[in-house]
Amino acid sequence: MAKTDEYIKIEKNFRNIQNSIIKNFSLFDRSSRKSRVNWNYKSGGGGISYEFNDGKMIERAMVNFSSISGDILPKSALQKRLKGKVSKFNATGVSVVVHPNNPFMPCSHMNVRYFETDEKSNKSWWFGGGYDLTPYFPNKADIKEWHDSAKKVCNKYDKKFYERFSKDCDDYFYNAHRKEKRGIGGIFFDQLNLKDKDVYRDFVDDVAKTYLDTYIKIIAKYKKKKYLKIHKEFQLVRRGRYVEFNLLYDRGTLFGLQSGGRPESILMSMPPLVMWGDNNKKLSKFERELKKFL
């Protein structure tokens, strides 16, 4: 499927978003071991996977860009099925996941994406994305700052966006088998196509910038925060919930695997170390405190 001029413009903008995030994370943690892989997609296009590992601040982070073309759109790409038949698609996006080293630094996720299909209707293109925060030792000021920034960027485009997208985030990032939210929320949106494309392109660009600015501001508070072995252990146990969500419910992970994407890039979102188990009574007080926010 040939790329439209609008697609090419959005694709370029997403590359700029990836480069900006890489630059800022590199400045935040100069000690991280960095790697970059360019990959090709079987039926057209490809991507750039950038990974941070083993840093003093960032234990693992992925900043992935992709732009692919295909003949069959995976069901995981859609919140609701399109009415018409789709035989070809273009999809581009940026995905970010950060697993900090310090347990007091929250984990974060951000994604922006754009799809075009050959369906002959007003649903032939749409934007999606959002960002959310997963703290293990929640701080009320951080949570307020996170949600205030999300509300501000949403209100810039539509006063109804924040309430709707915040609820969608809480509903989506939910471990049903645990009956708990994955984190403290943020915003999540999909199939945006009622306004002009330029409006949504600017919106997702602002979403990415707001995520980056707010997240770095929050984690910078904990650069010198001391922690004990028990804090790290609790972080590793709670990371297990992150893995469970990604493997059981995450549409981005499913889309990547169902569309035949590069497994190494898709699974870069997983934390490098994780634990399961609830037999340590020393962790129960941390669990009780955290669940007040979930």
Residues assigned a catalytic role: 109
Q: Would strands 125-134 and 185-192 be described as parallel, antiparallel, or unpaired?
A: antiparallel
28-31, long-range: CB < 8 A, 24+ apart: 28/57, 28/58, 28/216, 28/219, 28/220, 29/55, 29/56, 29/57, 29/58, 31/55, 31/56, 31/57
* CB distance 89 to 68 below 8 Å: no
Rounded Cα distance, 268 and 60, in Å: 8
Residues 6 or more apart whose CB falls under 8 angstroms from that of 289 comprise: 137, 138
